[in-house]
A and B are shown apart, each in its own frame.
Chain A
């Protein structure tokens, strides 16, 4: 402990780090019945940390390339000491991270934490959610198994339907006209270099904004506390909230370990580009609502091809979702009601289409 204190003093003399972390030490978190929702962002961050650590470990053995990828993952799963655990945790944590990121996004939406002045916090968070989905899409192909191969083929084909730039985007993603080893190495590059770099950048921006603006109060609580300031309660971020967050991380770690031990992430069979696509090709669950919509959309909508119309609608919806905070202040109270309505509709639609996608033959 003395060594730690002396190291702190030594650093303090040189970098004045106490000034740097000073605001963090003074940071407080409001305490009310909705406080548990504040944990979601931290859990997502923790899961991202797990992804980085397990991803680095997987990199020690993984070999990108159509002739080696599957075998290297098989080697990790069967021969490498605790390789099965690392890969299974990586895959489970990826899914849990996207789940908590979605939950965080909807909690922010329904608690109206996106309101002025936190518009940029929302946008940086949305960018992180899109990046997480990009991680999922690119990582799904890396084991080069049948399901991943054909799902990527379908996924990139859908990208190719985007008017004007679609074909170019598809060729860029695939590294050619077809899903080949070039696609695999490209996706590997995105997955381990481009996306992590961007994600770290956006996480720093997001955290800085959260730190700068402090924790948002839900409008109801805010109004109540304003009329009755005696009711206002808060806890210190360090150590009170942080220790609670640590408990949530531990629970997440236990859940990950249990999932990995009881249901190790399966590998499937090696992809054969010349084999016909097997029945039941599905994307990862977080793309299912879009996939199912595009599957069920009529072939022709007015003068547009059904699939193209679907992609355009999803593109427009994504853009509007990103700009949601700016609609909040429009048209007085009606803007907020519209935003909440859109949130409820969006969540309901995503849930319904995802369930439908899994139940439909």
Chain B
């Protein structure tokens, strides 16, 4: 008590606390790791700018959070065993290492409550995870896909796991023939995917919901869908086609031959925009791969194909007539709008084909043909009306000219008689 009450001692404790509070954050904010690693050559290089972009850095984690050590110390002391330095995480240990935090729901909640924490569990069920368990060190681990030190959230379009970049990320291994040697799987998936309608939807139309590798294979639990589950994968988006296929005679036929549903006709990675020519007998024909030319199904397919072309032609004809009417200034917006119903009917018929039932496809086709007939009639009516107006115009112009000549003659007559002053 005496000490605390003497003049100098009264302020000694608060002053010491203040110095401590000021000094501790200053020291804790130091990151000597980047001072050295920023100046190193790859792969040891990690610059301050690079690390500042990393989501972990942005959430307040430092090098020491993963690598241990004391970033406030300069030189080798920072990487001493005493300071808890654990160095580079071995490739084989990466999934479990990341999982220390990412599988801890309570820990992750403080950063992002909606982030899933089952990535490690899923990874262990993936082909990557299972092969790693068998000792394969070449398979993908977290850092191969997500990167390291400049890791960005998947919503960032610059992230390697953003939907726009996923196919490219997977292709770094899966399109590399040399790297994939020994796995006995094709390496043309990326090339095929880049030629597919799905890739076009993703990159040209900017539709981020369009499928990429992980949509069908899963991400952390990546595995090729089995024959039985292909239709389940496709049906997540193509629900109507799937429902119709499920009820069709083809389901049992495909299953009995071990054929994997949708991909039999549409292929997998290189899914092209489906066209009516798939039902034809031309090079794009798919039915003829199994069906004998001239059999009952072949004839039905040929008839559906012809009717689809008929509806397409009817839509085109009505469009052409309505366009001429519209460019002539006729009001045909209602018929133009109704043309969409015909287009919808055509799309519906193309979907109904997956039922492989002639009468159901017919219903949609007939509905479309009926609408186009009405619209065509409206367009032709508008053109007749246009011609009628032009005739009316010619008659009225003649009448006006007659009146003008009459007036002119009358004025001359008046003025000859001296009416003007």
Contacts and interface: CB of A to CB of B under 8 A. Distances in A.
A, B co-complexed: yes
Interface of A: 28, 74, 77-78, 84-85, 234-236, 239-240, 243-244, 246-247, 250-251, 253-254, 257-258, 261-264, 266-267, 269
Contacts, number: 65
A250 B400 contact: yes
Nearest to A269: B333
A29 B329 CA distance: 42
Interface residues of B, number: 24
A25 B329 CA distance: 46
A233 B306 CA distance: 81
A26 to B, nearest CB: 10
Given A235-B421, A251-B404, A263 B397 contact: no
B389 A261 contact: yes
Nearest to B385: A84
Q: Is chain B's interface secondary structure helix, strand, loop, or mixed overall?
A: helix
B404 A78 contact: no
A74 B333 CA distance: 9
Interface of B: 329-331, 333-334, 389-390, 392-393, 396-397, 400-401, 403-404, 407-408, 410-411, 414-415, 419-421
21 contacts: A74-B331, A78-B331, A85-B389, A234-B420, A234-B421, A236-B420, A240-B419, A243-B411, A247-B407, A250-B404, A254-B396, A257-B396, A257-B397, A257-B400, A261-B389, A261-B392, A261-B393, A262-B393, A266-B329, A267-B333, A269-B333
A240 B404 contact: no
Report which residue of A85, A254, A258 has the largest number of chain B beta carbons within 10 angstroms of its beta carbon. Answer: A254
A74 B332 CA distance: 10
Contacts of A236: 419-421
Given A244-B411, A250-B403, A264-B331, 7 more contacts: A74-B331, A240-B411, A246-B407, A258-B393, A261-B389, A261-B390, A262-B390
A85 B330 CA distance: 11
A263 B400 CA distance: 19
A78 B333 CA distance: 10
A247 B408 contact: yes
Contact of A263 (B329, B401, B415): B329
Report which residue of A85, A263, A264 has the largest number of chain B beta carbons within 10 angstroms of its beta carbon. Answer: A264
A239 B419 contact: yes
B400 A264 contact: no
B414 A239 contact: yes
A259 to B, nearest CB: 10
B198 to A, nearest CB: 29
A235 B393 contact: no
A326 to B, nearest CB: 34
Contacts of A74: 331, 333-334
Nearest to B393: A261
A240 B414 contact: yes
Contacts of A246: 407
Nearest to A247: B407
